[in-house]
Amino acid sequence: MSNQKTSMDVFFNPKSIAIVGASESFKFGYTMTNYLLSSEFKSYPVNNTKDFIFGHKVFKNIKDIPDDIELVIIIVKNESVLEVVKDSVQKGAKGIIIETAGFSETGIEEFSKIQKEIEIIANESNVRIIGPNCVGVTNFINKFSTADIDFDESMEEGTISVIAQSGVLGNIFIEWSASQKIGFSKTVTLGNKIDVDEVDMLEYLEKDVNTNVITVYLEGVKRGPKLIEVLKKMTKPVLILKNGRSEIGSNAIRSHTGSIAGDDKIYDTIFKQYPGIYRVNNFYEMFDIAQVFATQPLPKGKNIAIITSSGSLGILACDEIERLGLNLAVLDDSTIKKMKILAPNWTSLKNPVDLGPSLFMNFNQILDAVLNDKNVDALLHIFAVPQKPIKTFSLPVKPHLRELNKLSTKLEKPVITCVFGSRWIVDYFLKDSYKYKIPIMAQISHAIKAFKHMYDFGISNKSNKS
Amino acid sequence: MSNQKTSMDVFFNPKSIAIVGASESFKFGYTMTNYLLSSEFKSYPVNNTKDFIFGHKVFKNIKDIPDDIELVIIIVKNESVLEVVKDSVQKGAKGIIIETAGFSETGIEEFSKIQKEIEIIANESNVRIIGPNCVGVTNFINKFSTADIDFDESMEEGTISVIAQSGVLGNIFIEWSASQKIGFSKTVTLGNKIDVDEVDMLEYLEKDVNTNVITVYLEGVKRGPKLIEVLKKMTKPVLILKNGRSEIGSNAIRSHTGSIAGDDKIYDTIFKQYPGIYRVNNFYEMFDIAQVFATQPLPKGKNIAIITSSGSLGILACDEIERLGLNLAVLDDSTIKKMKILAPNWTSLKNPVDLGPSLFMNFNQILDAVLNDKNVDALLHIFAVPQKPIKTFSLPVKPHLRELNKLSTKLEKPVITCVFGSRWIVDYFLKDSYKYKIPIMAQISHAIKAFKHMYDFGISNKSNKS
């Protein structure tokens, strides 16, 4: 492999771009082509059957472009990809993203052979190749993207970066996270990993100043020992979702990205062995936890306080706290005294502080009392009040996110809000969650797991390095 | 206890109702009072300080009402509840729902004593009491409710019934399920369970013609042996969510509904021992699985087919299938032949059938081929296509729910659709999911677990009884 060659940065900050296979037809690559050609990124469409695309002059061949080309995006048919790769190398491109599918993942000899030939070119030249069978990269900082997404108002910039194997899933990650106001920094989908793999990307993102948390969706790994070596050295938290735990799952991986899944137990051991590397069960959990790492201070201890409007959900949180080896904070007498003045006589003021529907009243003072308690290291706020009472009462019910953020920042204690109920309530909270950097989630188990990983990260030597 | 007394039906179909503590103020009970007084249910407001409420004459005392009263709903302060219960018994009420909180769950001697006295009255008379510390019942068939909800257009009628301990959570169940188009039949929240408990409700719902699936949220059980006896005899599937697995969770339960959680391992053993009784991990899972039981035929075998637009998510499904001991269906050669004509050359046509973005094209024919395959007992359809391509292409992209329903019904094979992406896509599917009885969910693990429980239920003797 060729680590001393071009940096991964060419993929995220290219000075000039050729889109080979560009077209105006409504097909894969349409949105990307339209977006890049109308953007400030210097982009050139290449297509041997067209003269103009979206009003831009088209070049028959990449070699005809009267300019240096740093990055080539290939979306031609699988049979034509090899030729375009050869032309791109001759043109002096530093990076190539092959989005086209239909190679080794098909299991068909003919297509696997083409992939092999492209791989040889990658090894023998200075060019770096992402793909094939992917949608490439998206950089949320400079708004460069080779995927069919657009940067609408729902997408926020953040410090979470994503390394994913699958193109479709990569885009799903972006859309779901946008709907939850989880902000991304950089995303990349790697496909069949002919050249660039998760090792390259982990090394790049470790040094990337805009990335604080790294999430990885893996199907198979080609450079196992090297991956372990890199994971060991990471100083940023890494959350890994690894499919193919089962035999039939592993077989399916071969047809998807041509990867070998490997023995799942080995992965599990590796992931457990290194501090700062956390295995997750699904992508909702992955991004919920990543968002806590990205927005909250690390807890200084493992004593969790709970303020809830639903006793039942408070109990569920207790179960998770015990299961993961954290502590339910024992509130100081002075804290309970302060709360007694503020809450109705029927509320339970031990931890979990169960305020029932009275969560509406005096919430800020109770929050202040609990979070200031020296025995409390982190706070879970469970907001579960059915829509109807809120709408009916027209009470000054506020998500309190500003206050949560203010206190959390001042006291350096992490805070998570879990919201339950109809969409109306969830939207009400999500509206300001980005502004006030309070993670909003629908699963208490994700929140407690986030505290656990944050605590572990805090006591590892990693947090000192960064 | 007094099982031979009044039937639970008085709570769901009362001929006449008194609302004691009724008021026009914006507080707990407002929506319910307003709704019942303006409904066709014969309802009388009782309040000793008002003359009229929402234009209805108010009675100072329940005994002043010149009519028989079957059901009394109590929302007065905790100190006044005992008096109202005594009056209600004298009035000849058959059922009482005490919604007021502030009894044994407070841990305060004075309030626990009042609860004890009410309990004695319940035991010594023919009256049945639900509560205290609950929001009572909702009947989605006749639209009777003692909870602060209203029957807006988002709420669908279904055959799933809910027994919950907690009032707040009960309402959250209703709102979340409405947002997912999961239809309910009857819901009840039991609170501190002074008299009516899950045993009474299980016996009632087992005979209820409008209930096909029963979901239970439990914190503690007072009649353990009786519960086991009833669970053994149930012929309908029962899904149970039990909190308080941990010691600190059990302690929190005491402050919530005054229940004793009991040793979790005992519950786990009981739940595993009886066919048709399934323990779930959270309420999302509970209602996702219940919806499959409520809308789909039981699978005749354990061979699952997957049609997906995301290879990665197909692999995840494979992992779950193997983990739960189901089989990935081996498609017949004739099925693969049929599909080869319909799909692009780069798609993977083994099971999981990974159509990628070509899921749009020829979906109905591929669906027909796969579901008609004699080796297939159930189908998971994974729809994961980012929003942008769909919106841009203006292709005839349809959720295909009508076709899924038609085939599923004809062939008597269950079908589940998992949808991934932005809200726009999910809404697009949910719009018709109720009409065509196709369960839509966001978690593949829930879908596979549903197939597993359905299969187990099918091979148990229970499905023959019902």
Going residue by residue through chain A, which has 466 residues, state the pLDDT in tens, using 9 for 90 and above.
Answer: 334 446 899 999 999 999 999 988 767 788 899 999 999 999 999 999 989 999 999 999 999 999 999 999 999 999 999 999 999 999 999 999 999 988 988 888 899 999 999 999 999 999 999 999 999 999 999 999 999 887 877 788 999 999 998 888 888 898 888 889 999 999 999 999 999 999 999 999 999 999 999 999 988 888 888 998 999 999 999 999 988 777 777 777 777 776 666 677 777 777 788 889 999 999 999 999 999 999 999 999 999 999 998 888 999 999 999 999 999 999 999 999 999 888 777 677 789 998 876 666 778 889 999 999 999 999 999 998 776 555 554 444 566 888 899 999 999 999 999 999 877 778 888 888 888 999 999 999 999 999 999 999 999 877 654 4
pLDDT at residue B95 above 80?
A: yes
Chain B residue numbers touching A392 (CB-CB < 8 A): 26, 30-31, 148
Q: How far apart are CA B312 and CA B123, in angstroms?
A: 58
Q: How far apart are CA A199 and CA A221, in angstroms?
A: 9
Where do we find the tokens 């949180």?
A317
Q: What would the CATH number be for the domain defined by A1-133?
A: 3.40.50.720
CATH superfamily of the B137-295 domain: Succinyl-CoA synthetase domains (3.40.50.261)
Taking phi over 0 as left and psi of -120 to 50 as alpha, with beta for the rest, B248 belongs to alpha
B451 φ, ψ to 5°?
Answer: -60, -40
How high is the pLDDT of residue A395?
A: 47
Please give the CATH architecture assigned to the domain spanning A141-295: 3-Layer(aba) Sandwich (3.40)
How high is the pLDDT of residue A455?
A: 97
CA distances from A302 to A236, A297, A407 (A): 20, 13, 18
**Pairwise CB contact (< 8 Å): A322 & B246:** yes
Element (H, E) at B167: helix B167-179
Which of residues B450 and B261 earns the better pLDDT score? Answer: B450
Residue A168 is nearest to which of B28, B244, B309, comparing CB atoms?
Answer: B309
Is residue B388 packed enough to be buried (19+ CB in 10 Å), middle (13-18) or exposed (0-12)? buried
CATH topology of domain A297-465: Rossmann fold (3.40.50)
Where do we find the tokens 């993942």?
A105
**Pairwise CB contact (< 8 Å): A26 & B394:** yes
Comma-separated ranges of CATH 3.40.50.720 domains in chain B: 1-133
ipTM over 0.90: no
Strand order in the sheet with B184-189: B144-145, B136-139, B184-189, B157-164, B213-218, B238-242, B277-280
Residue B149 is nearest to which of A26, A178, A386, comparing CB atoms?
Answer: A386
Which of residues B34 and B222 earns the better pLDDT score? Answer: B34
Q: How confident is the model at residue B3 (pLDDT cuts 50, 70, 90)?
A: very low
Taking the CA of residue A315 and the nearest CA in chain B, the distance in Å comes to: 5
Average pLDDT taken over every residue of chain B = 89
Are B379 and B304 in contact by the 8 Å Cβ rule? The answer is: yes
Are B358 and B281 in contact by the 8 Å Cβ rule? The answer is: no
Taking the CA of residue B466 and the nearest CA in chain A, the distance in Å comes to: 33
Where do we find the tokens 């982190």?
A378
Q: How far apart are CA A380 and CA A374, in angstroms?
A: 16
Q: What is the dihedral of CA A81, A86, A88, A91, to 10 degrees?
A: -160
Taking the CA of residue A191 and the nearest CA in chain B, the distance in Å comes to: 11
Taking the CA of residue B345 and the nearest CA in chain A, the distance in Å comes to: 8
Residue B421 is nearest to which of A176, A217, A255, comparing CB atoms?
Answer: A176
CA distances from B369 to A255, A343, B377 (A): 20, 62, 13
Element (H, E) at A323: helix A311-323
**For range B404-425, the mean pLDDT:** 91
Comma-separated ranges of CATH 3.40.50.261 domains in chain A: 141-295, 297-465
Name which of A172, A287, A331, A383 to mutate to probe chain B: the one with the most chain B Cβ atoms within 10 A of its Cβ. Answer: A172
**For range B53-70, the mean pLDDT:** 95
pLDDT at residue B392 above 60?
A: no
Are B137 and B152 in contact by the 8 Å Cβ rule? The answer is: no
pLDDT in tens, B166-224: 888 888 898 888 889 999 999 999 999 999 999 999 999 999 999 999 999 988 888 88
How high is the pLDDT of residue A4?
A: 44
Task: Give the distance, in angstroms, between the CA of residue A123 and the centroid of all CA atoms in the same chain.
Answer: 30
Task: Give the distance, in angstroms, between the CA of residue B41 and the centroid of all CA atoms in the same chain.
Answer: 25
How high is the pLDDT of residue A168?
A: 82
Are A411 and A371 in contact by the 8 Å Cβ rule? The answer is: yes
**Pairwise CB contact (< 8 Å): B384 & A168:** yes
A287 CB-side CA count, 13 A? 27
Q: How far apart are CA B49 and CA B378, in angstroms?
A: 61
Residue B298 is given by DSSP the state P
**Pairwise CB contact (< 8 Å): B384 & A169:** yes
Cα-only R_g, chain A: 25
pLDDT in tens, B145-174: 999 887 877 788 999 999 998 888 888 898
How high is the pLDDT of residue B207?
A: 95
Comma-separated ranges of CATH 3.40.50.261 domains in chain B: 137-295, 297-465
Q: How far apart are CA A421 and CA B171, in angstroms?
A: 8
**What are the residues facing B310 on neighbouring strands?**
none
Contacts of B212 by beta carbon, 8 Å cutoff, 6+ apart: B159, B160, B185, B236, B293, B294
pLDDT in tens, A222-267: 888 899 899 999 999 999 998 877 777 777 777 777 666 667 777 7
Are A100 and A132 in contact by the 8 Å Cβ rule? The answer is: yes
